[in-house]
Structure 1
């Protein structure tokens, strides 16, 4: 997908290609730091079909505020949830999960995390193509 088209997914800055975290994503994503004082706020934009690996936030939770396009969110052991612009997802610490775009549409969310000393992300296995391709928009 062209960068110019991705810049229109939300009103927030697209940022740069997310190369530092690319090993933990299937597909291409973009990352823009919006705030790093007390609460880390990032705009994360996913190309169609892009998703991150299963992961766990240790020591601090995460809040996703959906700001453009449609995406998926799934916790381990639960069904995937379709996300639309305007929805908010709270992810408690220690919850294994993943999130990303639907297969045919770009998706953007703000990612908010309280900056807690010692907090970390544990990156796990990728979401397989087989599992991802089974997801259907109802």
Structure 2
């Protein structure tokens, strides 16, 4: 058994994959043969991921605030504290805070051949501003 202490500092997410200020706190990166990876991700208002996919899917559980999750070709959907979202493998999507509210979620995904995500282009301001369903 391992206990991973919570004394690691939060880190600012890379602008290669995020727009705006996004903070990440590692929860678990399980050693092989386990594949689970989890992060607590806090998005400042207007911040969001780039478009991306996950080889084995992703679960998002909203811890606080109000956010958006978008699929390619569809209006984003609103997500709130307590909501859980399942994104199937290979589905192009993005997620982040609304324009005026922070959002924090737990992001859980599994690694396949050392990869948890394939990053694509940044979400445009037009796609972000599209009226939610």
| Category of TM-score, reference length = shorter chain | 0.7 to 0.9
The answer for unaligned runs of 5 or more in structure 1 is 1-11
Helix, strand or coil: the match of 1:34? strand
Q: Structure 1 or 2: larger helix share? A: 1
TM (norm. structure 2) is 0.82
2:92 to 96, 102, 109: 96
- Kept in 1: contact 2:62–2:79 (CA 8 A): yes
The answer for unaligned runs of 5 or more in structure 2 is 1-5
The answer to whether structure 1 residue 25 and structure 2 residue 18 are counterparts is yes
Question: Could you list the runs of 4 or more consecutive aligned residues of structure 1 that deviate by over 6 angstroms after TM superposition?
Answer: none
Offset of 1:55 from its aligned partner?
0.9
2:47 to 44, 47, 50: 50
Other-structure match for 2:128: 132
Other-structure match for 1:8: none
Other-structure match for 1:81: 77
Helix, strand or coil: the match of 1:22? coil
Offset of 1:116 from its aligned partner?
3.1
C-alpha distance in 2 between matches for 1:123 and 1:28 = 18
Offset of 1:15 from its aligned partner?
4.8
1:57-94 Cα offsets, whole Å, 9 max, x none, are 12x11100010000000111222110000000111111
Offset of 1:18 from its aligned partner?
2.6
